[in-house]
Structure 1
Amino acid sequence: MKNLLIISPYFPPVNAADMQRVRTSIPYFAEGNWNAEIVVVDECYTDMNMDNLLSLSVPDAIKVHKVKAFRKAWTSKFGLGSIAIRSLWFYQKKVDRLLESKHYDLIYFSTTQFPVCILGPHWKKKYRVPYVIDMQDPWHSDYYRDKAKRPPKYWFSYRLNKYLEPLAMEQVSGLISVSESYIKDLKARYPVLEQVPSATITFGAFDPDMVIAEQYKGRFRKLLDDRYTNIVYTGRGGTDMHAAISAVFKVLKRGIDENKTGYDRLKFYFIGTSYAPAGQGKPSIMPLARIYGVDKQVTELTDRINYYHSLNTLLQADALFIPGSDDPGYSASKIYPYLLTQKKILAIFNRESPAISILKEHGVDHVYDYQRVQDADIDAFLSDVSAGHHMVQQQNAAAVNKYSARALTLSQCRFFDRLFPCG
């Protein structure tokens, strides 16, 4: 059995989206003949939301090493609030000690806190340990260059990423990505990567989460109004999702104006749409609802909620909505919790998004791209939900198995094995 050292600054109990790959994979690495350990940042150094229930899904036998980070209260004075930047020095010292005391065959960076990846070349050169980077999102990207509305500190982060990304890519031994387009973009930018093994491996559906969600459902405050037929989305918002959402709001407004049965009792919930601290998030969906005149049928809660609170809210919903980004590479790893609920789903993405084929493979009926979706398609979904028709989504068993966390973790293991052709 080979030894795998995973680098993921966020890990349970931290409720961060980019640790979900590791959290749902780590129970299965041993089955693929990889003994996994993980190096994380101690949760006391982050201001992210905590969800202690997430730790229940992590096997007790997994060895978790914790590192420190510089306090954000100090570093933010210089504009450096990133957990990756704040923990970089501590990561180098800690992992140096680990590599000096034990043999590890591979280092696996699985995080969107990408600056930590620049330590890969150091460990490869000093200790001869290869490293793989998991591209859950683009690292350096031109997506916002021509956008009027940009993320905070975009000027700085764009230039920092442009400088750091090539440092990590020059020596990387393998690339995993949730979207094939991310790897294509990297290979176009860095020709050296043409000879580097790569694989597109999505996140997987993790059945144990539904057991935990059901077991602890009494802990969570109910967010939905039973007087309505509730259609729920949980996850980040943003103007990049407006094209997908606008298509729905337009049809909803017309249905209300035409007095279609039950349309006035439909309520859309968008929950946890901002990454800002609690109470400080700015709505990104309600302004759009007001433009279309459906604000009475829409509720946006910007504050993030705990992961299992989110799962329970999806389970309480009458139906689910997954709006995708206008970014063609957007994969929406969040689709798997939605699929686990077996609720009726409306999903609208960019036509290039890999999420479309995955959802269709599962047998989801209402999956569209916003460039070509017809009003009649959305109207059919809203009419069915209003009437309470076919609210359980039957899924293709082969797809359920193919996209399980276990199956996709074993795919990661097989990819790791490719880096050691002599065994």
Structure 2
Amino acid sequence: MTSDVPTARTTPDTTRALRARVRHLCHGYGIPLEQRARLVLSATTVARAAGGATVTARLDQNALVIILGPATPPDPGTALDLPLPPEPSEPGTVAWRIPLPATTGKAEPVHTDDEAATEAELRAVLARADALERDHRELKHELAETNSGVLAMYVELAERDERLRRAHAAIFRELEDALRPPPPTVAGVELAVHYQPAGEDTPTGGDLYDWFVLPDGTLHITVVDAVGHGVTCTRTALDVTHTVRTLAIEGHPLDDLVRRAARINPDVMATVLLARFDPATGLLHLANGSHPPALLVRPEDTAYLPADGRGVGFPLPGSTEIRTTRLAPGDLLLLYTDGLIESRGDADTDEIRLASTAHRHAALPVDELAATVVHEMHDDVRYTDDTLLLALRYTDTDLPFIGCG
């Protein structure tokens, strides 16, 4: 619906009349005072730039259309900065389309005095600016409180994560204690172990060991390296160590343990190194299933003690050779997993490094020696893997030195 409203003509000398006409129209149709102030200032600015203009108005559905003409629409690139930009209109005119309020409510008074009307409009604009400033301050305050709450939540979550991390660490330590038994007490023998996981987030793996004294006084040691990482791999290694322990206690010969252990689970795959040491005689027997060889460290030299055999899960598993030697008082035996000699990706070179490192630190107490050797071997880690090192030192000085078999 479109209808015309009375018009008025303004010139540079009658800008007050233009403002009065615009105010009267706004008052008649319930236009808010702040909107009126923007329209009055915009119309006055355009009229002055045009050297005078005629004010016309019409109703277009739910809007009041204020039209100035003749007048040239301001160029977006000119200095005119209108608080209420006009809408596209017919050539030679400038128009503003002001939506009518849903409810007119109490109409703002129209002062006949131009200065009083301008002051009222200014107050309305300032009141609106003050309200926006208050809203801005309240929003900043709410945002600050929200940020504070979020920060407190993050702090609480971080503290909870830390408590959870400590709880997990305690559980893992207990798990490690359960999985890695303390060294048995054997007269004439010093024992130590050092385990280093592949990473802080993987405290358990497939590198496990077991050591116990058989009824005849012989010390039995099992070192297992199950293929893979994580808890599943740990379970595999546990299956092997427990099976070997059961078979050994039942009295099965050393060269038959790996083969029998391989029958337990056909899906299990692990390398195994077995050692039997008699402290009464110094005799050492080694059975191997695809595992890195033991290292014998003596004051004058070092020597690896390989023995043929295939590991659990390998084709034709079992030990095909038993390596026998006799330890002299002061001799040191190292049993380890491949993480110790493959951190740089060259096992042959690292075997040489291990022999040199172990010989250099052979005089240290066995527990300190084990940690020191692992630390030095891992000074440059390119390939992370679980690492296990067991150290055995023969200290019985009452036995004569017979030599290496």
So what's the TM-score if we normalise by structure 1?
0.23
* Larger RCO (CA within 8 A; separation ≥ 6): 1
Structure showing the higher strand proportion among its residues = 2
So what's the TM-score if we normalise by structure 2?
0.24
Structure showing the higher helix proportion among its residues = 1
